[in-house]
């Protein structure tokens, strides 16, 4: 079987997905896994005479950088090189992704399809179609241990995949489906044990809603499952556990005092991040979120009562939000900061292809909104990349107009 090099374009945004992909290559005989950590390394990679598969996993905000790198690779006219794309953006816009210069584009979660692809390429069996669909095939996340100290890849542990919501701004359900799939306790233990034995003594988790672990219902969290998860993490040798904070926030309706007490007992984090996004009932409905204003207030109250700092995610510039609703949100933010010492994690709405909001126009942030956010930022009550995201939002719409995004 021919020797094959599999190169992954690695950055701070795709470590999780690349770790999962490499973990899935357990059927491939001695693949030569390498990483491209900087665009300047590409020239040397292309000089290798052996067959090379160069893999990009990326989201829409990275589109322009990816386009430039692929154009550079194509300009060098390297032989024995296949360019492969996957991730949120290629899943949403496969045809547009191929137009960038990729040979193959993977749609959906790709652990199984990617492994079969590499096995075929080793035999010089090249797939006929350029778009490789997941189809109805569901990945069992318990088939892999996504912890790879050998490659210095020990990202936060994905404990749940999929989301029962279909929020109007989010691509997750289109990639992973709307049924929650949890990593079982045995897999969690072995994954964290591997990390612990390699001197990784702290862990974070990845989940669309941390408090949904062990159940398929955001409103009825499984206290026993969460307690067992955190106990197992400790038994695996993890000294510092972060749960209910980035990158696994919690939904307001899943918050209860019993779970918060368990988190307080086992975990290191002092903050609980709650996904709020808006406090307009009409806007929440248009976002397809289940939370009510009363549930949001209740969650903030319980988080503060238990001794945590409540951190609230908000998105500004959402499509269809009117002046009255924007002011309503700002008023409640001021109240929650004053009453519960809440902190605000501010985002500007980013249009993402193939989401329900993709063809809707964002609401531009008005002067008084920016002044409000800047004031809170100055007072250290607010943080986040909302200013950079405002620029990014405008850029994505330009890319759409120019045909860089085709959906």
Which CATH number belongs to the domain containing residue 373 in this structure?
3.20.20.70
Query: Do residues 273 and 245 share a domain?
Result: yes
Sequence-separated (6 or more) residues with CB below 8 Å from residue 336: 297, 300, 310, 312, 342
Q: Helix, strand, or coil here: 309?
A: strand
Rounded Cα–Cα distance for residues 309 and 296 (Å) = 15
Tally of domains within the chain:
2
Query: Do residues 231 and 319 share a domain?
Result: yes
Domain boundary among 76, 111, 133: 133
Q: Helix, strand, or coil here: 27?
A: helix
Query: Do residues 73 and 216 share a domain?
Result: no
Domain boundary among 133, 162, 197: 133
Query: Apex CA 76: angle with CA 107 and CA 13, to 5°?
Result: 40
The answer to whether residue 141 sits within a structural domain is no
Query: Do residues 84 and 33 share a domain?
Result: yes
The answer to whether residue 271 sits within a structural domain is yes
For the chain, what's the residue count?
A: 407
pLDDT of residue 39: 78
pLDDT of residue 85: 97
How many C-beta neighbours within 10 Å does residue 160 have? 23
Quote the domain boundaries for residue 182. 147-401
pLDDT of residue 165: 83
Query: Do residues 215 and 85 share a domain?
Result: no
Query: Do residues 171 and 312 share a domain?
Result: yes
CA distances from 48 to 43, 44, 79, 85, 125 (A): 10, 7, 9, 21, 21
The answer to whether residue 140 sits within a structural domain is no
Domain boundary among 133, 159, 174: 133
Rounded Cα–Cα distance for residues 397 and 402 (Å) = 9
Query: Do residues 75 and 182 share a domain?
Result: no
Rounded Cα–Cα distance for residues 240 and 238 (Å) = 6
Rounded Cα–Cα distance for residues 251 and 211 (Å) = 8
Per-residue pLDDT of the chain (407 residues; tens, 9 = 90+): 567 889 999 998 999 999 999 999 987 877 789 999 887 888 888 877 788 899 999 999 999 999 999 999 998 877 788 999 999 999 999 999 999 999 999 999 999 999 999 999 988 888 889 999 987 788 999 999 999 999 999 999 999 999 888 889 999 888 888 889 999 999 999 999 999 999 899 999 999 999 999 998 888 899 999 999 999 999 999 999 999 998 999 999 999 999 999 999 999 999 999 999 988 888 888 888 878 889 999 999 999 999 999 999 999 999 988 999 999 999 999 999 999 999 999 999 999 999 999 999 899 999 999 999 999 999 999 999 999 999 999 999 999 999 999 99
CA distances from 145 to 149, 169, 188, 303 (A): 11, 30, 8, 32
The answer to whether residue 139 sits within a structural domain is no
The answer to whether residue 238 sits within a structural domain is yes
Looking up tokens 């903030």 gives 300
pLDDT of residue 2: 63
CA distances from 376 to 58, 279, 292, 346, 380 (A): 32, 18, 25, 10, 6
Q: Which of 86, 76, 27 lies closest to 48 in space, CA to CA? A: 76
Helix (H) or strand (E) holding 313: strand 309-316
Query: Do residues 322 and 384 share a domain?
Result: yes
Rounded Cα–Cα distance for residues 99 and 121 (Å) = 22
The answer to whether residue 371 sits within a structural domain is yes
pLDDT of residue 1: 55
The answer to whether residue 103 sits within a structural domain is yes
Whole-prediction pTM value?
0.93
Query: Do residues 19 and 81 share a domain?
Result: yes
Query: Do residues 175 and 125 share a domain?
Result: no
Query: Do residues 77 and 184 share a domain?
Result: no
Query: Do residues 88 and 175 share a domain?
Result: no
Q: Helix, strand, or coil here: 5?
A: strand
The answer to whether residue 25 sits within a structural domain is yes
CATH, residue 37: 3.40.50.280
Do 350 and 390 form a contact (C-beta atoms < 8 A)?
no
Cβ burial 77-90 (10 Å sphere, 16+ → b, else e):
ebeebbbbbbbbbb
Cis ω for the linkage preceding 247 (within 30 of 0): yes
Cβ burial 54-68 (10 Å sphere, 16+ → b, else e):
bbbbbbbbbbeebbe
List alpha helices for 236-349, DSSP H. Answer: 257-266, 281-286, 293-305, 323-340
């Amino acid at each position: 079987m021919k020797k094959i090099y599999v190169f992954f374009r690695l950055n701070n945004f795709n470590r999780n997905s690349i770790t999962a992909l490499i973990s899935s290559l357990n059927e491939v005989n001695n693949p030569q896994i390498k990483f491209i950590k900087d665009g300047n390394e590409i020239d040397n990679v292309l000089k290798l005479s052996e067959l090379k598969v160069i893999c990009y996993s990326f989201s829409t905000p990275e589109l322009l950088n990816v386009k430039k790198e692929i154009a550079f690779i194509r300009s060098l006219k390297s032989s024995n090189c296949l360019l492969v794309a996957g991730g949120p953006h290629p899943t949403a816009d496969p045809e547009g992704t191929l137009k960038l210069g990729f040979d193959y584009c993977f749609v959906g979660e790709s652990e199984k399809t990617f492994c079969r692809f590499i096995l075929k390429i080793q035999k010089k069996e090249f797939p006929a179609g350029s778009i490789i669909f997941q189809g109805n095939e569901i990945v069992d996340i318990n088939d892999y241990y996504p912890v790879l100290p050998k490659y210095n890849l020990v990202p936060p542990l994905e404990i749940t995949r999929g989301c029962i919501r279909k929020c109007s701004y989010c691509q997750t359900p289109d990639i992973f489906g709307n049924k929650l799939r949890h990593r079982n306790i045995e897999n969690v233990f072995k994954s964290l044990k591997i990390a612990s034995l390699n001197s990784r003594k702290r862990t974070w988790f990845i989940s669309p809603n941390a408090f949904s672990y062990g159940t398929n219902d955001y409103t009825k969290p499984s206290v026993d499952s969460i307690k067992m998860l955190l106990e197992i993490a400790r038994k695996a040798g993890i000294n510092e556990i972060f749960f209910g904070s980035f990158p696994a926030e919690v939904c307001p309706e899943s918050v209860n005092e019993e779970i918060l007490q368990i988190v307080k007992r086992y975990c290191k984090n002092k903050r609980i991040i709650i996904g709020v996004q808006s406090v307009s009932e009409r806007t929440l409905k248009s976002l397809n979120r289940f939370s009510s204003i009363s549930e949001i207030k209740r969650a903030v109250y319980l988080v503060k009562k238990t001794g945590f700092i409540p951190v609230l995610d908000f998105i500004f510039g959402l499509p269809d939000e009117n002046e009255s609703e924007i002011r309503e949100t700002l008023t409640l933010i001021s109240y929650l900061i004053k009453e519960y010492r809440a902190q605000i994690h501010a985002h500007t709405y980013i249009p993402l292809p193939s989401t329900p909001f993709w063809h809707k126009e964002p609401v531009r942030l008005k002067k008084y909104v920016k002044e409000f956010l800047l004031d809170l930022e100055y007072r250290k009550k607010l943080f986040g990349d909302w200013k950079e995201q405002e620029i990014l939002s405008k850029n994505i719409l330009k890319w759409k107009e120019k045909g860089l995004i085709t959906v």
